[in-house]
Chain A
């Protein structure tokens, strides 16, 4: 039986690396969350569930949770709709299609940080081109009511291409004849979409949804750079809050507890989606 075991050596390096650098810290963060640990004061002692009890009473946590949920819901919905629209639009042969596809990929390729600074400049209340074009002087990033939506807009701009690309690939697999057959049967454009395209696209839509929902929930880069979590914590998402607790106030214990909560939420969302996906496959 030595022949059989020899084959696992191919996956061994990957598994070892993944376990050491991701599983081990994942376990470690759970342990940390049960401690009060502050490096600079050399405090490190076991405190049980104190951090979690504090968390439940922490208004700032609930604010961050709400911001995250809102951000995720709005952002993902917009991305899916826009992405679907673009995919449907591009799903036909036309001149320079390759160039257009490349252009659509531009937001995806730009580093999130670069894109965030770019939008920061566009949203600038005094010198930003948006206010110039609108002829108004809205303080996009300084006004608590607008800031989160500005962040959502920036995120949607960056990630719509990924959704569009996935959906385009899904559309390409649908045979043209099906739509043609439906047309012959009397369906209009909307009918074809509703009864042929959409059902066949469901699995891909779900995959795109899973990826995007998880990414949106974990969002950090764009918020941190665009608004830093402000103004007045109106854009502070869970990841940003956890980061600040960890690396600005250096409370590794409480920060870990927040991280664990993010972890659990993401895990819950994943399980939900996987159940949905297997339901559709079956």
Chain B
């Protein structure tokens, strides 16, 4: 296990700066995830940890050793690729044994390790098959096994679950967590699926255009997003964002799309134009009018198991809320919606930062 430290890392490809001024520390044994939209630079960071890309500026440390100049084979990292990258001409056994074979491990040890890993991942029956004869989930486990067998300091995973169907993905997530508990390894994980990030990680870094917008636990990111980007990225379905105007600074009174509210914020908004974020699960839609509710028009209903997501129009602005499953809403109906002002988030309209 090792602590990974980035100091002022920068990386460009040609004229495009992909990573700017990255400073980060990943703790020993931590499950750390980089999440963000395509092109935000998360795979590049992973490749830099692995040694497959070199940073243009800055230093990377494993514990106290600077590893910038070390080749991938010398860094004691293991990587699971999105496409698994299994060697097609080798059997599962040979694939698993390959990292040990390169290091000239003796045959007995190799076979012992392979059998151990195969037992751990349920691959015993498949050892003599070739990757072409395996299913997606099986290939993924072989890729995992090939990574685990060296007991590396650091585990790198580049969207390893994105090629699996939904049910398998949920299964594999559980297996990953179990493995993590049993082996106690440092895992650096990359995904574009924020749900996956939230469910697996100790800490998450949200990346956008090569910069970390926020780094923290799942709860931090969900309850206290640093800016509008993080708020909109984390959480399914995405947060509703409506424009608002500050009427009074203290106590804070905001005209939010026609509704006057007094939300709780850590600071005062710097300007009068703000964006107000209301999570869909905080917006209750029903036929009943209650204190604080306002009129909306139903446009779409999307069943979601125990309740329904409801798209409504609020003063001309489309937002999404939740309704009871048996509420019996109909598109075009005029109904009521309500939210608790304590749960909303206020962002400065210009900078996007949360206040």
Taking the complex as formed, is A3 at the interface, i.e. its CB lies under 8 A from any CB of chain B? yes
Taking the complex as formed, is B71 at the interface, i.e. its CB lies under 8 A from any CB of chain A? yes
State which size class the interface on B falls in. Answer: under 10
Q: Once bound together, how far apart are the Cα atoms of A3 and B68, in whole Å?
A: 11
Residues from chain A with Cβ under 8 Å of B71 in the complex: 3
Residues from chain A with Cβ under 8 Å of B54 in the complex: 3
Residues from chain B with Cβ under 8 Å of A3 in the complex: 54, 69, 71
Interface SS, A side: helix
Output the least CB separation between A120 and chain B (Å): 49
Within 8 A of A (CB), among B43-68: 54
Q: Once bound together, how far apart are the Cα atoms of A3 and B52, in whole Å?
A: 12
Determine the residue in chain A with the shortest Cβ distance to B69.
A3
Output the least CB separation between A211 and chain B (Å): 32
State which size class the interface on A falls in. Answer: under 10
Chain A 3-47: CB-based contact to B (< 8 A → 1; otherwise 0): 100000000000000000000000000000000000000000000
Output the least CB separation between B132 and chain A (Å): 24
Determine the residue in chain B with the shortest Cβ distance to A2.
B69
Chain B 268-281: CB-based contact to A (< 8 A → 1; otherwise 0): 00000000000000
Q: Once bound together, how far apart are the Cα atoms of A68 and B184, in whole Å?
A: 76
Q: Once bound together, how far apart are the Cα atoms of A3 and B54, in whole Å?
A: 11
Output the least CB separation between B322 and chain A (Å): 44
Residues from chain A with Cβ under 8 Å of B69 in the complex: 3
Output the least CB separation between A269 and chain B (Å): 33
Q: Once bound together, how far apart are the Cα atoms of A191 and B71, in whole Å?
A: 58
Q: Once bound together, how far apart are the Cα atoms of A3 and B69, in whole Å?
A: 8
Within 8 A of A (CB), among B65-104: 69, 71
Output the least CB separation between B12 and chain A (Å): 16
Q: Once bound together, how far apart are the Cα atoms of A3 and B70, in whole Å?
A: 10
Q: Once bound together, how far apart are the Cα atoms of A3 and B71, in whole Å?
A: 9
Within 8 A of B (CB), among A179-216: none
Within 8 A of A (CB), among B248-283: none
Q: Once bound together, how far apart are the Cα atoms of A182 and B71, in whole Å?
A: 54
Q: Once bound together, how far apart are the Cα atoms of A3 and B72, in whole Å?
A: 12
Output the least CB separation between B66 and chain A (Å): 15
Q: Once bound together, how far apart are the Cα atoms of A3 and B73, in whole Å?
A: 13
Output the least CB separation between A218 and chain B (Å): 39
Output the least CB separation between B51 and chain A (Å): 10
Determine the residue in chain B with the shortest Cβ distance to A4.
B54
Determine the residue in chain A with the shortest Cβ distance to B51.
A3
Output the least CB separation between B53 and chain A (Å): 12
Output the least CB separation between A261 and chain B (Å): 42
Q: Once bound together, how far apart are the Cα atoms of A256 and B54, in whole Å?
A: 50
Determine the residue in chain A with the shortest Cβ distance to B71.
A3
Q: Once bound together, how far apart are the Cα atoms of A146 and B63, in whole Å?
A: 83
Determine the residue in chain A with the shortest Cβ distance to B70.
A3
Q: Once bound together, how far apart are the Cα atoms of A260 and B286, in whole Å?
A: 89
Output the least CB separation between B65 and chain A (Å): 17
Q: Once bound together, how far apart are the Cα atoms of A276 and B166, in whole Å?
A: 49
Output the least CB separation between A2 and chain B (Å): 9
Q: Once bound together, how far apart are the Cα atoms of A240 and B54, in whole Å?
A: 55
Q: Once bound together, how far apart are the Cα atoms of A176 and B154, in whole Å?
A: 49
Output the least CB separation between A33 and chain B (Å): 43
Output the least CB separation between B298 and chain A (Å): 41
Output the least CB separation between B54 and chain A (Å): 8
Output the least CB separation between A168 and chain B (Å): 28
Q: Once bound together, how far apart are the Cα atoms of A3 and B51, in whole Å?
A: 12
Q: Once bound together, how far apart are the Cα atoms of A55 and B71, in whole Å?
A: 60
Residues of chain B touching chain A, judged by Cβ–Cβ distance below 8 Å, are: 54, 69, 71
A-B contact pairs, 3 of them (CB 8 A): A3-B54, A3-B69, A3-B71
Which 3 residue pairs are nearest across A and B when measured between Cβ atoms? A3-B71, A3-B69, A3-B54
